[in-house]
Each structure stands twice: as structure tokens, then as C-alpha cells.
Structure 1
Amino acid sequence: MDYFDTLRKGMDELLSVARRARSLGLDPSNDIEISLANELHERIAALFGIPELGERVKYWLDATGSKLETAFRVIGEIVPGYYLKISYERRAELALRVGMAIITDATVSAPIEGISKVEVKKQGGTYLSVYYNGPIRTAGGTEGAISVLMADYIRQRLGIDRYRPTQEEIERYVEEVSLYKRIAHLQYNSEPNEVRIAVSNLPVEITGPPTEKEEVSSFRNLPRVETNRVRGGAVLVINDCIIQKAKKLKKIIDQIKKIGFDDSCW
């Protein structure tokens, strides 16, 4: 018996003990909440509670041999509502979380805790907005950057216009990145003009809930920004993902254009 067989045997024994304990009826549920999932498609099905989703992940992984392409293929099936008849905003959020889970092997917290919510906003135009939390860092810089490509692909599939930041909003990001550098750690030491260029060309809004007590001193009380405090998740995605991984992102875009990704905003 090899090492992994020993692990599986031990886990089966522990699950048997847990089932017997739950059968006594002393807990709120008689079922064991944690499911065993050895393969990526099994983890996806268990994480989101949608068995058909796991089946489609397995299908596309077998067909393409690529987690990246599989993620975008599955996103393309979720957005039209193939799996769940829910609002388009909820489909957009589910699609982004699933796509992130696929490219991170569904083994980190980023797909669930790194994304707070996804909204379609109608302020100064209709655009897609992604709220990022600090745990997006667990995905890694490249994967975090890919999540923005995924959000843009979702926007394209929904037929929503691109995000068009105002000059005040652009400068707000510049100040926010600079302020975050002084109070927390960033992997990449970006220049203000790099932030301006990145934000000016974003097709979706990158935002998030406030994560720090510090507030910006300029560009406060902007109509489309809910807080004056630093949004750590947004800063991480812009600085350590989009800007730091820009060259790598260009190569990834070349790969996903074949599945219908429009790179005109990139």
C-alpha cells in the first residue's frame, strides 16, 4: 500500500466514524457537510453545489487540456443561464467565481473570499463592476489579472458597455495606490503614470469594500465611489496583478482570442 492509499484508507475510516456519530441525531444535520473531491471537476461541483458544472469542467478539460481555456469555455456557458435561471448579475458573479476556481485548482480562498460581489451599475453609463477583497492575493498575480480578463469576457457576453472612468476617478486610484504603499506591502512599486494608463483602459470597474482605516485626502466623495477609505483589494488587483503582469497578460490575451474574446479594450 502506497502513501496515498494509506491516506485514503485513513480518511474512509474517519468518515465512517463521522457518519455513525451523525446518525445519533445529536447534530443539526445528519449528513457530513464536507465532501471528498480528488479531481478539479469534483472540487468545483462540491464548492458551488452544482453537479452539472463539474461535468462541464471535466468535459472541457478533457477536450482542451487547458485550465485557462476551460475556464473561459465554462464562463461562456454560465453567463447565458445554461445551469441556473437566476438574474444576469448573479450569473456574472457565479461565472467569475467559477472561472477563478478553475485556474486556481479550487484550492485557495480567492474565488470565494477574494471577490465580494459583482454588480452591473448604471451611473454615467452601464458597466460591470467587480468588488475585490484582500484575499484575492491568494490567487497570485497572474491569476488575479486573469480574473479581470474574465470579468471583461462576462461583460462582452452580457452585451454591456465598457467602464469609462472619469479623470477624478483615475486620480483617486493613483492616490489610493500611493497611500496603500505607505501602510501595507505591495509586490510591485508602480509609477503614478502606470496606474493612470492601466485604469484609463480598464473595460470593467475594479473596486471593493474599504479595507484600511486611512482615507484619501484628495478626490473625496466621488459620486461613483462608495467610500473615501482605501480599497485594498482594488489596489492589489490594479498594482500587483494588472500592472505587474502586463507583459504576461498580453500573451494570455493572444491565447483566449480564439474563443471569441474581444481584445479591443486591451
Structure 2
Amino acid sequence: MQQPWISQTAYHKGEISVKNEALSEEMKRYFKVLQSEVDRCYSIAEQAREKGLDPETKVEIPQARDLAARVEELVGPKGIASRIRRLTDELGDREMVSIEIAKEIASGKKYRFSRVEDAVDQAIRTGLAILTEGVLVAPLEGIAEVRIGRNRDGSNYVDLYFSGPIRSAGGTGQAMSVLIADIVRRELGIG
């Protein structure tokens, strides 16, 4: 688990250091031993899965050293982790990071989507995953569907469909997913 006194960028690179201070040699050894043991366990799990006795032949849970890596592995898009780390170091506020990342995803500048709904869907799920620290099921199964609806006057709107697992995000996460949807809607000129 990422400790608050370790920068996101340093932790991901394996250069575990306290902001403005170096960790003691004892702490560096401790983190190295932890990673070594995790790697050993994954190796054993991979060997077991290769025998084909389980439905899956690969270990399904990838290692993720920090929030950014967890979000990328959980909901994507591929390559977003480095941007989440940079924004987290710059802004420090997870809510602001989730909004900025959602806007960047929806803008289509770096990530391409065949449909507007897909861009909005990805932006909302990634934003919610940042808010829930990439450890809850809410971004995957709590948002059942994202559609672009049409009003009688011809204008359109973002239509979010929630399911039971959204409850794990808590009231703030639920409300923030609606806020993110509205911000993304405005960014894309929907409505």
C-alpha cells in the first residue's frame, strides 16, 4: 500500500524516498524484502496456473504499486497511470485529479473513442476509480451503463444507469460520478 509520505512517482519507479528526505537503509531493505516476497508469491501462482487445473491459466490480479497503477489496471485507459501520478503530485487533491483526468480522457486528444458514449463512459469510470482509490468494484459494476439521451426539444444529455455495487463508493463517490458526468458533458458540448 502506498504510504502518504512517499511520492506517487518515486514509489512507482521503485525509488522509495520520503519527500525531501531519504528513507533509512533499514526501511529501504524492508520495502525490498516486501517486493521480493510478492514477486516470489506471484511466481508460485504463475507456475500453479500454468498446470491448467484452474479455469484461467494466468494470474488475473496484476501487481499495482500505487493508486495510479490500480486505476489503469482496473478500468484504464492504457497509459493513464503516469498522468494520474503527475497530476497527483501537482494537485494533491484526489477529487481535482479525478475531474481533470476525466476531462482529458473525454477530450479525445490522447485517447480515441469510436462513439461519444464510449468517451463519456471511460471518463466517468476512470474518475470514479481515482476517487475510490482503485480498490472498489463501483467503477466496474456500479455504473451499469452510460448513454447519451435526447430530449423532446432535440437537445441531448448524459444518462447514467447505476446498479447495486455503486453503494460501495459511498455518497461522495456516487455524487462525484454525477458531477464528473456533468463536467464531461459540458466539455463535449452535450446538451
Under a length normalisation based on structure 1, what TM-score does the superposition of the two structures give? 0.55
Q: Distance in 1 between matches of 2:143 and 2:64?
A: 23
Query: Helix, strand or coil: the match of 1:119?
Result: strand
**Residues 28-48 of structure 1: CA deviation (Å, up to 9, x unaligned):** 765322101120011011112
Tell me if the contact between 1:52 and 1:83 (Cα under 8 Å) persists in the aligned partners.
no
Q: Distance in 2 between matches of 1:18 and 1:119?
A: 40
User: Paired residue for 1:43?
Assistant: 70
User: Paired residue for 2:187?
Assistant: 157
Query: Helix, strand or coil: the match of 2:73?
Result: helix
Matched, 1:130 2:150: no
Q: Distance in 2 between matches of 1:64 and 1:159?
A: 26
Alignment of 1:165-180 (within 5 A): none
Tell me if the contact between 2:147 and 2:159 (Cα under 8 Å) persists in the aligned partners.
yes
Q: Distance in 2 between matches of 1:111 and 1:93?
A: 10
Query: Helix, strand or coil: the match of 2:133?
Result: coil
CA RMSD of aligned residues (A): 2.3
Q: Distance in 1 between matches of 2:68 and 2:105?
A: 15
**Residues 40-87 of structure 1: CA deviation (Å, up to 9, x unaligned):** 011011112433111111111111111111111111111122223331
Q: Distance in 1 between matches of 2:76 and 2:176?
A: 24
Matched, 1:120 2:111: no
User: Paired residue for 1:80?
Assistant: 107
Equivalent residue pairs, number: 161
Q: CA deviation at 1:21?
A: 2.7
Q: CA deviation at 1:25?
A: 5.7
Q: CA deviation at 1:135?
A: 1.6
User: Paired residue for 1:188?
Assistant: none
**Residue segments in structure 1 that go unaligned for 5+ positions in a row:** 162-266
Relative to structure 1, the CA distance from residue 86 to residue 53 in structure 2 (aligned partners, 3 Å threshold; closer, same or farther) is farther
Matched, 1:140 2:170: yes
Q: CA deviation at 1:126?
A: 1.4
Which of 26, 29, 32 is equivalent to 2:59? 32
Q: Which amino acid aligns with 1:53?
A: I
Alignment of 1:1-266 (within 5 A): 8-24=35-51, 30-81=57-108, 82-124=110-152, 125-161=155-191
Query: Helix, strand or coil: the match of 1:86?
Result: coil
**Aligned structure 1 segments of 4 or more residues deviating by more than 6 angstroms:** 1-6
Tell me if the contact between 1:44 and 1:106 (Cα under 8 Å) persists in the aligned partners.
yes
Q: Which amino acid aligns with 1:77?
A: E
Relative to structure 1, the CA distance from residue 130 to residue 13 in structure 2 (aligned partners, 3 Å threshold; closer, same or farther) is same
Under a length normalisation based on structure 2, what TM-score does the superposition of the two structures give? 0.74
Q: CA deviation at 1:88?
A: 0.9
Query: Helix, strand or coil: the match of 1:20?
Result: helix
Q: Distance in 1 between matches of 2:78 and 2:60?
A: 16
Q: Give the structure with higher Rg (CA).
A: 1
Relative to structure 1, the CA distance from residue 27 to residue 135 in structure 2 (aligned partners, 3 Å threshold; closer, same or farther) is closer
**Residue segments in structure 2 that go unaligned for 5+ positions in a row:** 1-25
Relative to structure 1, the CA distance from residue 27 to residue 137 in structure 2 (aligned partners, 3 Å threshold; closer, same or farther) is closer
